[in-house]
Amino acid sequence: MNDCPFCAIAAGTIAADRIYEDEEVVAFRDINPQAPTHILVIPREHIASAAELTRAQDPLWGRVLHVAQQLAVSEDIDASGFRLVTNVGADAGQTVPHLHLHLLGGRAMSWPPG
């Protein structure tokens, strides 16, 4: 998708504070952090949201999840706890139409979310 900001970050044509990348996945710090650690993990492949995932993409989604887990360790929030969120569509407040997993931690969080 030509005008997708996260495709541009994955391609390196938009700057981001990238902290991890491999052939399938890129992770970078959220530009508007909502917690001391706020990282977005994305597949390089353009997928609009979790609502669009196919069974063939099970390994890719698993990879996104595992990278988030590893980053929780490297950010030293694995013991204190962290939250993984993927917003889907308008009611969830999704603003970027490229699948991304939020990794949030470093402070206590309330439930239910707003």
Site string for Zn ion, 72-111 (x = CB under 5 A): --------------------------x-------------
Q: How far is the CB of 19 from ligand AMP (least distance, A)?
A: 11
| Partner whose binding site includes residue 7, from Zn ion, ligand AMP, none (CB under 5 to 8 Å by kind) | Zn ion
102 is catalytic: no
Report the interface residues with ligand AMP, using CB under 6 A: 5, 14, 16, 28, 30-32, 40, 87, 93-96
Among 19, 21, 29, 46, binds Zn ion (CB under 5 A): 46
Buried b (16+ CB within 10 A) or exposed e, 26-58: bbbebeeeebebbbbbbbbebbbbbeebeeebe
With beta carbons less than 8 A apart as the criterion, state whether 104 and 34 touch: yes
